Structure 1
């Protein structure tokens, strides 16, 4: 069975209350439930994680090698700053989809640069929580 790591970065634990005008009212627990349902429908398994720590996220990416077939990464603000996350993804050579709730290209200029997209097979942004099932479907099709 295909296994996907869904990894969420800093401040995503505050979804539902953090800047609802940008990120909506959906909580991370709501998104996890949506992903669980979608994975079941697709016949794949998921591990759903969140961390505010860049180092812990890197550890999870390293641990994914040999365990997961793909990664969906919403790296939050680390998207625009973390060469270390980019290097970790490149090192494990696991197909990765970069994901964002908001359209990062319609926001502040610094958000237009992504280190993650340089090693991702694709990017989904701007569809809110619906981006997660989109990413799962796209990644499962890519891995099939």
Structure 2
């Protein structure tokens, strides 16, 4: 059975509370349930994880090798700052989709730079919580074409 790891980075535990006009009102537990339900419907195993700590995310990425077939990664602000997470994705060699709730290209200039884009198979942004469903579908399609 195909297995996906859905990783969420810093401040995503505050979804539904933090800037709902930017990130929406859907909470992280609701997103996690949506991911689990969608994966179940696709007959795909889904593990979800969130951390505000860069090292914990890197540990999850490293551990995914040989366990998960793909990663959906919303690294939050680490997208724009973390060479370490970029290197972890590159070294784990697990196909990864970069995900953002907001359209980062319509926001502050510093959000236009992504270290993850250099190593991700693709990027989904601007579709709110539904972006997770889109990312899961995109990863399943990517893996089917591999």
Specify every segment of 5 or more residues in structure 2 that has no aligned partner in the other structure, as ranges: none
Q: How many Å apart are 1:107 and its aligned residue? A: 0.3
- Residue correspondence of structure 1 range 85-96 to structure 2 within 5 A: 85-96=85-96
Size of the aligned set, in residue pairs, is 144
Unaligned runs of 5+ in 1: none
Residue 107 of structure 2 corresponds to 107
1:60-103 per-position Cα deviation (integer Å, ceiling 9, x unaligned): 00000111000000000000000000000000111000000000
Matches within 5 A, 1:1-144: 1-144=1-144
CA distance in 2, matches of 1:126, 1:54: 23
> Matched residues in 1 for 2:56 and 2:40: separation?
27
Distance across 2 between alignment mates of 1:140 and 1:42: 9
What is the CA–CA distance in structure 2 between the aligned matches of 1:92 and 1:32, rounded to whole Å?
Answer: 23
Which TM-score applies when normalising by structure 1?
Answer: 0.99
Distance 1:102 1:5 in 2: 21
| Distance in 1 separating the partners of 2:36 and 2:61 | 20
TM-score, structure 2 normalization:
0.98
Post-superposition Cα deviations, 1:14-61, rounded to whole Å, max 9, x if no partner, equal: 000000010111000110111011101111011000000001100000
Q: CA RMSD in A?
A: 0.5
Q: In structure 1, how many angstroms separate the alpha carbons of the residues matched to 2:6 and 2:44?
A: 12
